[in-house]
Amino acid sequence: MASSDPLFVAAADWAVVFIFGVVYLGMFLGGLPRLRLDRSGVALLGAIAVIAISGMGVVEAAEAVDLPTILLLFAFMVISAQMRLGGFYAAVTRRVGALPLSDSALLGALIAVAALLSAVFSNDVICLAMTPIVARLCVRRGTNPLPFLIGLACAANIGSAATLIGNPQNMLIGSVLRLDFADYARTAFVPVLISLVVLWGWLVCVPHAPVDAYPVIDRRSEDPPFNLWQTVKGLAVAGVLMGLFLFHDGPHEVMALLGAALLLLSRRLASAEFMKLVDWPLLILFMGLFVVNHAFEQTGLSAQAVAWLAERGVRLGDPGPLLVVGVALSNLVSNVPAVMLLLPHLAGEPGAGVMLALVTTFAGNLLLVGSIANLIVADLARQQGIVIDWKRHAIVGIPVTLLSLGVIWIWLRSVH
């Protein structure tokens, strides 16, 4: 039990502040120097440290975790695993690639498919499944793969902003701020659609540096074979859930868990195969940051900082400051930690949830390290011998992000 001595409490608070700073330094760096810790490991150790130092207790730490967000995220990881094991993503990408289209038309089709699938099945999963196939498609066509691969990453990020289940940070925002699924989708549709058009137009009109000769690596054997029955099962569950989310006001995490449970009841796909595709490190990252942020909030410093800004006319709930801070934090510490930092100060602010979801998601396109989806595409492209460095990404990412943020600003001010 923690001591009530003021000096002890002050020392514990500053220790929590130090741990909080180290954790978010780890979020910025992707780990800690000289230690083989990734972001999830840093968040987990940070949570353990603040529990031990602050004396919050295990029960209080557990209550700090937003369980509906964790359950919703887990359930959709299982549903996405079903679609991947059924070979759906690979089959759709190949079908689009086989269409008799010009390069610019094919680019538009792939952008549309990536965005649509990301709105339901998560941007990271779509990039993981589509990148190798798109790279091989470009090789066969003899076309520059850069606009296709960078377009895939950016489209997946933009498309995931269309719903409250398209990416982890949107799930968190929707759960904590209790946003209406249908209202959010209606508001987000226009800026997402316009931003996708902007992305396609920029990729088509701006010349891209030629890619050096690279080896053609055939990885088709690694793609799951298409299974019609498994695909139909996954699409049926996803379709029913989307309908329930749009037209039924109930606990989304419970609905999603029931859908995931139905998919796990399979005679052909072992539950262990699903569990292998669940992103456990991401779930640990969420839970660790919930605990660390809760401990930091208990020190009162975050509330004091927000009050200090408000006294000088800067309110985080206002569109302008929220846009600037959201973009900056998303590129400093990644969008999930950025959302966790900002959410406690946005309760009761009308329109702030929609702004935060769109801004932090679109901001992921600004830099190559701005989102996990970008890094997934770059890593898988490198395995195919195609190098996407920060300069090549920035030629697309920076202007498209700035234009997309302008679209958000104009649209949200017009509807509120």
Q: Tell me: the pLDDT tens digits for 225-261? A: 889 999 999 999 999 999 999 988 788 999 999 999 9
Amino acid (1-letter code) at residue 154:
C
Determine the Cα–Cα distance for residues 171 and 79; give it in Å rounded to an integer: 15
pLDDT at 212: 59
Radius of gyration of the chain (CA): 22
Determine the Cα–Cα distance for residues 223 and 85; give it in Å rounded to an integer: 9
Query: 310 pLDDT exceeds 50?
Result: yes
Biggest distance spanned by C-alpha atoms of the chain: 75
Residue 1 belongs to a domain: no
What proportion of the chain, given as a percentage, has pLDDT over 90? Answer: 58
Binned at pLDDT 50, 70 and 90, residue 6 comes out as low
pLDDT at 242: 94
Amino acid (1-letter code) at residue 170:
N
Indicate the helix (H) or strand (E) that contains 390: helix 390-415
Residue 53 belongs to a domain: yes
**What share of residues in the chain are helix, strand, coil (percent, to 5)?**
75, 0, 25
Query: 220 pLDDT exceeds 60?
Result: no
pLDDT at 222: 62
Q: 289-314 in b/e burial notation, b at 16+ Cβ within 10 A?
A: bbbbbbbbbbbeebeeebeeeeeeee
| Residue of 369, 359, 362 lying closest to 390 (CA atoms) | 369
Residue 214 belongs to a domain: yes
Residue-wise pLDDT for 19-59, tens only, equals: 999 998 998 888 888 888 898 999 999 999 999 998 888 89
- Top pLDDT among 13 and 290 is at 290
Tokens of 231: 């695909």
pLDDT at 1: 44
Residue 190 belongs to a domain: yes
Cβ–Cβ under 8 Å, residues 225 and 148: no
Confidence (pTM): 0.88
What proportion of the chain, given as a percentage, has pLDDT over 70? Answer: 94
Q: 115-143 in b/e burial notation, b at 16+ Cβ within 10 A?
A: bbbbbbbbbbbbbbbbbbbbbbbbbeeee
Residue 54 belongs to a domain: yes
Residue 345 belongs to a domain: yes
| Domain residue limits at 277 | 6-415
Q: For the chain, what is the domain count?
A: 1
DSSP state of 34: T
Query: 328 pLDDT exceeds 70?
Result: yes
